[in-house]
Amino acid sequence: MNVENLRQLTSATGPFASVYLDDSRDSSDAVLRFETTWHAVRARLVDLGANDDLVTEVENAMLNNPPAVGRRGRVVIATADGVLIDEHVPNVPPAPEVRVSDYPYILPLTTIGVARPPYTFAAVDERGADLTTHQNGIARSESVEGEGFPVHKPATAGWNGYGDLQHTAEEAVRMNVRAVADRLTSVIDGSNAEVVFVAGAVRPRHDVVAALPVRAAERVVQLHGGAEGHRVREAEITELLDAEFDRFAHTETTRLIERYTEEQASASGLAVEGMFAVCGALRAGNVDTLIVVDLDDAMVVMGKGPRTIAPHAGALVQAVVGVGRADEVLPMAALAVDATVVTLRSGLSPRDGVAALLRYFPGGG
């Protein structure tokens, strides 16, 4: 999800309800399963001390907002004043996770691949295209219909005027391709889309991509979809899009692991591990990327201020004002210093299940 949506949480006041559950709609009994799950989640919120207003906010989001398409997890974070986060995520939890705490639980939203970059989906054919751009959780759609007509060549050459009509059809297709490419380029430039999916039959999608300027074409991933008289809808090929985003996520994860490993091997001081070192870096505002692998049920102590945290009271200069779960407090402290938060499922095994890449060598300014 968009990182700014997460950063807004640092200015909100708890208690927070954080719910992470399976919202898949990929079976005939999906609605019944969801209703059963929600009743159990609601009861758990009450057991954890959520007041009526807080339960109502979560309930309204769960029951009234659009459900998932296909297999998806869902994260809802709310206070009694309103819903702050309501996101579908590709990872489906094996069982619902429900928390009521002074801090929101954001780790399900920080796995690489959950936060999808701005992207544009273009379903193209010989007549035009349907374009949808996803940015900051908002989807904007439009259609481009070229003025070229006819777009089909005659089926046989056995009549006068065949050559003229064939030439006219080819020119009509070129005209429509140019209209789509021009508009798609404007959309990409205006949205800063990092990925552009172009879906359609082989010829029209290749023609559109070939007509794009290099700055746009280098972001394109081509997908096969659609048929004569039917432009494919994004919802029809979600599995293909998921596979591409999984590939991007794998590449990004590999780069992060390699960067951390290289910094650690070079003894640059820019890669630290363990609760003591990471808390110290957060207090100093020196964390570029917080890497969470497995914090289990670890707790930290807190002073005044969102980043005044330590693994125990002896590590804090000021008085302790609270104790909280490390998997809630550390990510929020990282957001408070404008750091990136990443959850890794494998690839690293840092001490205490947590590590960080730093902005500068400690003590070096």
User: Which pLDDT belongs to residue 318?
Assistant: 85
Q: What's the distance, CA 196 to chain centroid?
A: 15
Q: What's the distance, CA 4 to chain centroid?
A: 12
Q: Rounded to whole angstroms, how far apart are CA atoms 20 and 89?
A: 10
Amino acid at 104: P
Q: pTM of the prediction? A: 0.79
CA distances to 40, 70, 93 from 89, rounded to whole Å, are 21, 11, 10
Q: Rounded to whole angstroms, how far apart are CA atoms 95 and 66?
A: 21
Q: Rounded to whole angstroms, how far apart are CA atoms 167 and 163?
A: 6
Q: Which residues pair with 199 in a beta bridge?
A: 123, 223
User: Which pLDDT belongs to residue 168?
Assistant: 62
User: Which pLDDT belongs to residue 156?
Assistant: 45
Question: Which sequence spans correspond to the domains of the chain?
Answer: 3-109, 119-247, 267-358
Fold of 267-358: 60s Ribosomal Protein L30; Chain: A; (3.30.1330)
Number of Cβ atoms within 10 Å of the Cβ of 2: 16
User: Which is it for strands 195-200 and 119-124: parallel, antiparallel or unpaired?
Assistant: parallel
Q: Both tokens of residue 305?
A: 């201020």
Note the CATH number of domain 119-247.
3.30.420.60
Q: Rounded to whole angstroms, how far apart are CA atoms 239 and 225?
A: 12
Q: Rounded to whole angstroms, how far apart are CA atoms 49 and 42?
A: 11
Backbone angles phi, psi at 251, to 5 degrees: -65, -45
User: Which pLDDT belongs to residue 169?
Assistant: 57
Sheet holding 322-325, edge to edge: 309-310, 299-302, 322-325
Per-residue tens of pLDDT for the chain, all 365 residues: 456 678 889 889 989 999 999 988 878 888 898 899 999 999 999 999 999 999 999 999 999 887 777 788 899 999 999 999 998 888 888 999 999 999 999 998 888 777 678 899 999 988 889 999 987 667 899 998 876 444 444 444 444 444 444 446 577 778 889 999 999 999 999 988 889 999 998 888 999 999 999 999 999 999 987 666 678 888 888 888 888 888 888 888 999 999 999 999 999 999 999 999 999 999 999 999 999 999 999 999 999 888 899 999 988 888 889 999 999 999 999 999 999 999 998 899 999 999 999 999 886 54
